[in-house]
Structure 1
Amino acid sequence: MQDDVVFPTLPTHETGKLKRGVCAISGVELSRKNLVALGTLRPSLVEHIRRDFPDLDDNSLISLKELARYRTRYVEEILREEHGEYTDLDREVAESIARQDTIAENIEDDFEEHRTLGERLSDGLASFGGSWAFLISFGVVLAVWMVVNVVAGTGAFDPYPFILLNLVLSCIAAIQAPIIMMSQKRQEAKDRLRSFNDYQVNLKAELEVRHLHEKIDHLITRQWQRLAEIQQVQLELLQEAQVPRRKPKRRKKPATKKKVVAAVPAELPEPDSTA
């Protein structure tokens, strides 16, 4: 029985080195999946990085951490050029782009969770005061109040012109107005938070779309360059194929002289002596 053939394999540490690289900016050795080649990035970001490291070429590797830092700086520079300032909202957008996180939030749930008991009570009263249920029930109470006092005559607790009813209505209006104002104030705060979040989402979407355009343009340019190189190689191959190849001349073999063999005459028969 033949022995099994054992193929040589690289040691574990040598195999691991093949999948690792060194960041050209920080000099830290990392796994290959945490590194990005500089040539794969869009030109505007590459130009921004080469301001600090002009010696980097397209094959240089950059860690994802350093790439996120330079993306944040790049977005900050764009916002400063366009808006003239760099606010906290812009900073949050730039950091979310660098971390590749979502920035959209559910403002309703976050706002509802932080309400106090008084705020919930005022919101409930304001909501009930602006409903048809309140209008119908309040109208019924007023009608019953006036009918009872008119029918009772001299024994009514609030005879015409219903001075006590006017006092009750004034007290209700005086209490209801601040409650509605408090509810509107919280609604304005909620709308303000929603508008801030909408601004951040829209700004991030605009920047992401711009970056996508730059990436697509960069990829198209590189693809055209590669197609042009491939086409040039194909043309060279076609030109080589169209050049006629000269067939090698065959050498003529020297003619061999044939030997002439003289014919030997056959012996004549001797004459018969008995004739």
Structure 2
Amino acid sequence: MGRNGSAARTRMETCAVCGKLFPSGRLYHASSIRPGIFELIRQDVGGWSLDSRICGPDLSQYRRRYVADLLEQERGELSGLDRQVLESFEKGVSSVHASAAGLDKELEGETLGQRAADRVAAFGGSWGFIITFVVVLLCWMTINVIGFLGGGFDPYPFILLNLLLSCIAALQAPVIMMSQRRQEEKDRIRAENDYMINLRAELEIRQLHDMIEHQMAHQWERLAELQQIQIELLEGHQPPTQPPAKNSS
């Protein structure tokens, strides 16, 4: 009975945008909405005022439009990443999944040549390669200068050594460029991922700010209503005032 009574006392109000009925606790009061969003709604909805109320889905759409306008004013034109973040923000889906999945797919789809290029580039830019290369050069020149192994196979000025070094440099340069290009692609995906995370965090902070403002306004309304009920109860329990006694004399 108490539950039915409380349900019956639930006040239903109309959303000023879509015209549907909602419980008053699920509607946002116009006074708790950001001024920019308030003006945006007022341009589309006739009769919109500080006493109006709006439902959550409609408010989310206007928030998206408001944020899109802000981003467009700051950047001049929305990029594909901005639109993707806004769409995911409206749907409540994490916007970084697609970018992270793209990076994972890029890493998992490496071919044998790409893995070899990465390893060659990693080894070619290490101290191990430099030390090994210097040791091989010294051994090569020492063997051919001293005349070990029957007079040397590549006497001074080491024409065969120059040919080998030229071939190694000619092959190593494009391999390193291949690895650098793939690394740039990975860095681009990571940078896009970081940008989307930061943008979504900014949007969520703004949404939390609006929700806190709405919650505070709703709490103040509830407190005022409870205070009014308490005042009425106190007035109802006051004893009736006695008329003054008449003097018999």
Structure-2-length-normalised TM-score: 0.70
Instruction: Give per-residue Cα distances to partners, 1:26-61, cap 9 Å, x unaligned.
Output: 799xxx9xxx94437962457645643446853x76
1:219 matched to 2:211: no
* 2: CA distance, partners of 1:209 / 1:27: 29
1:246 matched to 2:235: no
Output the amino acid matched with 1:133: G
Which protein has the larger Cα radius of gyration, Structure 1 or Structure 2?
Answer: 1
Structure 2 counterpart of 1:109: 104
Structure 2 counterpart of 1:43: 33
Please report how far the alpha carbon of residue 102 of structure 1 lies from its aligned counterpart in structure 2 after TM superposition: 0.8
Instruction: Give per-residue Cα distances to partners, 1:147-177, cap 9 Å, x unaligned.
Output: 3223326721112332321222222122212
Residues 40 and 117 from structure 1, CA distance in 2 versus in 1: closer, same or farther, beyond 3 angstroms? farther
Residues 146 and 43 from structure 1, CA distance in 2 versus in 1: closer, same or farther, beyond 3 angstroms? same
Please report how far the alpha carbon of residue 97 of structure 1 lies from its aligned counterpart in structure 2 after TM superposition: 0.3
Number of aligned positions between the proteins? 231
* 2: CA distance, partners of 1:125 / 1:46: 60
Contact 1:68–1:99 under 8 Å retained in 2: no
Please report how far the alpha carbon of residue 67 of structure 1 lies from its aligned counterpart in structure 2 after TM superposition: 6.2
Contact 2:85–2:196 under 8 Å retained in 1: yes
* 1: CA distance, partners of 2:162 / 2:242: 121
1:73 to 51, 65, 69: 65
Q: Which runs of 5+ in 2 are unaligned?
A: 1-13
Please report how far the alpha carbon of residue 199 of structure 1 lies from its aligned counterpart in structure 2 after TM superposition: 0.9
1:184 to 174, 180, 185: 180
Contact 1:125–1:179 under 8 Å retained in 2: yes
Tell me the SS of whatever aligns to 1:135: helix
* 1: CA distance, partners of 2:142 / 2:82: 64
Output the amino acid matched with 2:70: I
Please report how far the alpha carbon of residue 24 of structure 1 lies from its aligned counterpart in structure 2 after TM superposition: 8.4
* 2: CA distance, partners of 1:99 / 1:216: 20
Identity %: 50
Structure 1 counterpart of 2:141: 146
Output the amino acid matched with 1:93: V
1:94 matched to 2:86: yes
Please report how far the alpha carbon of residue 204 of structure 1 lies from its aligned counterpart in structure 2 after TM superposition: 0.9
Residues 110 and 68 from structure 1, CA distance in 2 versus in 1: closer, same or farther, beyond 3 angstroms? farther
Residues 241 and 24 from structure 1, CA distance in 2 versus in 1: closer, same or farther, beyond 3 angstroms? closer
Instruction: Give per-residue Cα distances to partners, 1:166-215, cap 9 Å, x unaligned.
Output: 22222212221222122212212221221112111101101110111111
Contact 1:38–1:46 under 8 Å retained in 2: no
Residues 190 and 46 from structure 1, CA distance in 2 versus in 1: closer, same or farther, beyond 3 angstroms? same
Question: Aligned ranges for residues 163-182 of structure 1 at < 5 Å?
Answer: 163-182=159-178
Q: Which has the higher helix share?
A: 2
User: More relative contact order in 1 or in 2 (CA 8 Å, sep 6+)?
Assistant: 2
Question: Aligned ranges for residues 10-29 of structure 1 at < 5 Å?
Answer: none
Please report how far the alpha carbon of residue 92 of structure 1 lies from its aligned counterpart in structure 2 after TM superposition: 0.5
